Amino acid sequence: MSNQRTRIKTPVGERIFYVADSLLMIFLCVVILIPLVHVVAGSFSDGMSYMSHQGLLILPLNPTLDAYRAVIANQNIWSGYRNTIFIVVVGTVLDMIFTLVSAYVLSRKGYMLKRFFTIMVVFSMYFSGGMIPFFLVVRNVGLYKSIWSLIIPSLVNVFNLIIMRTAIMGVPDSLEESAQLDGAGHLTILFRIITPLVLPTVAVVTLYYAVSHWNSWFNAMLFIKDRNKYPLQLILREILILSDTDEDFTMSETIQFATIVVATLPVLCIYPFIQKYFVKGVMVGAVKG
């Protein structure tokens, strides 16, 4: 970006700007990281010391692993983890299959109902029946109280579908035509020829679906009544949110922090490996349908 030539004649005003810019960015990083540092430090702190403490922590107070022992002993967290992993893995795989198939069909040309299908799909992005009718439909198809209610009703996200379709439309027709001449069916063309060519987009959309399954708690609150089937986020809600207002759930702050660390660390560990994909992917998304 910068080159030697400009450095020599950089005016004073610009140099001040660069320094200020750098400082501002460093400050931003600190602001973003402080709450996280506080949580980690709190999770290693002694419960009583934290109670009598005010303000932000940088280092643990009277370091101890007590909070983590309590978290590990909490069966709800592990059952929540198990359910969430099931939902994320099975849900994301099914989401991807449905999204790829619908993106493929919508990217084909020549068939009569293409326009109808496209309008049907896009309209559902802008208008919805809302919470209660959705709830009634899920209940009427028999998914109420089942963990599948968190997977099947949200199979296709239209925005992700559009990203996928845009990518597939970018694949040269000639490749598919030659495959068709060889007698390949639609599924073969889609999964053997097209999918490998749009792999970066597949990676990104997979990531979007996985993150949204991981984060979701609202539908689970509506549909899941059995605590053994609660996804992790719903358990976290009890520990982190309801504990502040509802006496049934009272829990010490340090245990709350340890829970946050246990529930967030896996995602942050995967994060560095997927960063390059999503940076690419957002660009794909920005190109739009």
Partner 1 sequence: MQGVRKKKSLGQRIRLDWKKYWRLYLLFLPVFIYFVVFKYAPMAGLVISFEDYKAAKGILGSKFVGMKHFINFFQDPFFTRLLRNTFTIAISTLLFSFPMPILLALLINELRSRKLSRTVQTISYIPHFISTVVVCGIIHDLVSRTGGVTMILHNVFGMPVTNMLYEPNYFVPIYIASDIWSNIGWNSIVYLSALTAIDQELYEAAVVDGANKWHQIINITIPCLLPTIVIMFILKVGKMFDVGYEKIMLLYTPLTYERADVINTYVYRRGFAENVNFSYSTAVGFFNSVVCFVLVFITNKITQRLDGNSLW
Site for partner 1 in 78-117 (CB under 8 A): 98, 101-102, 104-105, 108, 110-113, 117
Q: How far is the CB of 164 from partner 1 (least distance, A)?
A: 12
56 backbone dihedrals φ, ψ, rounded to 5°: -85, 150
47, 92, 10: which is closest to 257 by C-alpha?
47
Among the residue ranges 75-83, 150-158, 165-173, 192-200, the one whose residues contact partner 1 (CB under 8 A): 150-158
Quick one: how many helices (H) and strands (E) in the chain? 16, 0
Distance in Å, CB of 233 to partner 1, minimum:
5
Taking the complex as a whole, how short is the minimal distance between the CB of residue 278 and partner 1, in angstroms? 7
Buried b (16+ CB within 10 A) or exposed e, 63-79: eeebbbebbeebebbeb
183 binds partner 1 (CB under 8 A): no
Q: Decide if 232 contacts 83 (C-beta within 8 A).
A: yes
According to CB under 8 A, which one of 78, 86, 134, 249 is a site residue for partner 1? 134
Should residue 271 be labelled a site residue for partner 1 when binding is judged by CB under 8 A?
yes
Count of residues that interact with partner 1, criterion CB under 8 A: 99
| Chosen residue from 93, 200, 264, 277 binding partner 1 by CB under 8 A | 264
Q: 3-state DSSP call for residue 254?
A: helix
Buried b / exposed e over 173-212, threshold 16 CB at 10 Å, is eeebeebeeeeeeeeebbeebbbeebebbbbbbbbbbbeb
Nearest distance from C-beta of residue 34 to partner 1, angstroms:
8
Q: Is 250 in the site for partner 1 (CB under 8 A)?
A: no
Stretch that binds partner 1, among 69-77, 163-171, 196-204, 215-223 (CB under 8 A): 215-223
Give alpha helix (H) positions in 127-198.
Answer: 131-140, 158-169, 173-181, 186-188, 195-197
- Give 199 or 287: the residue with its C-beta nearer to partner 1: 287
Residue 133 in the binding site for partner 1 (CB under 8 A): yes
Does residue number 11 form part of the binding site for partner 1 (CB under 8 A)? yes
Told to check if 4 binds partner 1 by CB under 8 A, we report no
Looking at 69, 72, 244, 250, which residue binds partner 1 (CB under 8 A)? 244
Q: Which of 4, 73, 115, 127 binds partner 1 (CB under 8 A)?
A: 127
Measured CA to CA, the distance from residue 150 to residue 95 in angstroms comes to 12
**Distance from C-alpha of 142 to C-alpha of 149, rounded to nearest angstrom:** 9
